[in-house]
Structure 1
Amino acid sequence: MAPAAVIDEIDMTTTLARPRRSQADRSAATRAKVLAAARDVLCAQGYSGATMHAIRDAAGMSLGAIQHQFPTKAKMMAAVAAEFAAYRTRIYSEAIRAGATPRESMENLIDANFRMVSRPEMAAVLEIHLARRNDPELDQEVGPSTRRFERRVRLWGHFILHAAGIDNDAAYQSLQLLNNAVTRGLTVEYIRNPDMALIERSVAIWKRQMLELVFGP
């Protein structure tokens, strides 16, 4: 048999032996592709530029296929935010568990949080949250998962402080608000000037101050 015929036969055998993906697998792959495209467009063009048509072009699929997964832009944006919240939840919980002491757990949590600043998902989700102010439908879709995530982070902080014998929830809430503001501000700065070395130096200063405020020198 000629070499080309052997290759053709092997290719055909491989194709025939390859199991067909289930409808659920195909749907999940389409969903992941759409969400990745939405994230990229949000980062590049902002919320107003992330139209269904722009996302369709970035994903390279029909508008009908996208709308089968996400009937509205608000539902798609909510899925982008929820997916990133789930990722952050996993990373933060692993960081906390890796700490041998409450202080180490808090330090790990701060480090894990600021590593998010350079991720495109962080910029994308920031765009979504800013748009919630003037879009009631978006706010309604995004609100529930956002509140669950924020409540979980607050509880983690409380548990860490209580394990350290610190009982000052009001002070922690103020620090958390400041930490959120610094995180979002640095995300904007990274978008404007992606100098990670500068971001890391700024984070080191903020982390040192936060730890000293909570645990002392």
Structure 2
Amino acid sequence: MSQAVDVIEAVSDMTEKAVKPRRSQADRSAATRAKVIAAARDILCAQGYSGATLHAIRDATGMSLGAIQHQFPTKARMMAAVAAEFSEYRTKVYSEAIRRGTTPAQSLENLLDANFAMLGRPEMAALLEIHLARRNDPELDREVAPSTRRFDRRVRLWAHMILRAAGIRNDEANMSLQLLNNAVTRGLTVEYIRNANKDEIERAVRIWKRQMLTLLFGD
């Protein structure tokens, strides 16, 4: 009986291995990158840019420095990957929000809602830390700039298309409103980091969104 059980278990192990083939090198590399990016994001959010050292990320992931640096030879490249991943995520979320709108005003409102829904995410705090650090780190600035420019161009294009569809062509005023909206977004991100009253932040968002829509589309 014991031999029969051993045979069954051996067959079961072989079947499981056949069903679950070993991951490819590309899959393992992608998993490593994802783990490092997630750890860097969380440390940036909790401890700021200066706290997001390679040693801190090594400790958080349980990986060796060699494994981490194989994926990201420098801290700047790692931070750029954190920023780029979040930009890709925001691009997807924002584009879907715009498409759900049936009028230009609704599309813009959806875009604003999607933007302010990001405020409490750790990626927003991490991104803010990265952008602040760019001022004094030329290498970081070079690495982060491409994905940032792509994302900013997309947002400007979306806003331009929405407003043109509504017959609004005052480009100077629109650029000023976008600048103000960016400033409000960053400021409220700081408020979230400081653990301010979330109800107050949400109330501020509602007020600002109403002001934006009224300025652009009227009552």
> TM-score under structure 1 normalisation?
0.95
1:70 is matched with 72
Gaps spanning 5+ residues in structure 1: where? none
1:44 is matched with 46
1:97 is matched with 99
Alpha carbons of 1:7 and 1:195: their partners in 2 closer, same or farther (altered >3 Å)?
Answer: farther
2:140 is matched with 138
Alignment: residue pair count: 217
1:208 is matched with 210
Distance 1:17 1:177 in 2: 53
User: Can you list the C-alpha shifts for 1:45-84, whole angstroms capped at 9, x where unaligned?
Assistant: 1000101111111111000000000000000000100000
1:85 aligns with 2:50: no
2:189 is matched with 187
How far apart are 1:26 and its partner, in Å? 0.6
Q: Which residues in structure 2 correspond to 1:127-166 (within 5 Å)?
A: 127-166=129-168
Counterpart pick for 2:171 among 152, 163, 169: 169
Q: Which amino acid aligns with 1:129?
A: H
How far apart are 1:173 and its partner, in Å? 0.7
How far apart are 1:15 and its partner, in Å? 2.8
1:117 aligns with 2:119: yes
3-state SS of paired residue (1:46): helix
Counterpart pick for 2:37 among 35, 38, 41: 35
Distance 1:8 1:193 in 2: 54
> TM-score under structure 2 normalisation?
0.95
Identity %: 76
Distance 2:204 2:93 in 1: 22
1:60 is matched with 62
Alpha carbons of 1:99 and 1:13: their partners in 2 closer, same or farther (altered >3 Å)?
Answer: same
Q: Which amino acid aligns with 2:47?
A: Q
User: Can you list the C-alpha shifts for 1:92-112, whole angstroms capped at 9, x where unaligned?
Assistant: 000000000000000000000
Q: Which amino acid aligns with 2:207?
A: I
Q: Which amino acid aligns with 1:189?
A: E
1:14 is matched with 16
3-state SS of paired residue (1:210): helix
- 49-58 or 99-108, which deviates more: 49-58
Q: Which amino acid aligns with 1:199?
A: I
Deviant stretches of 4+, over 3 Å: 1-9
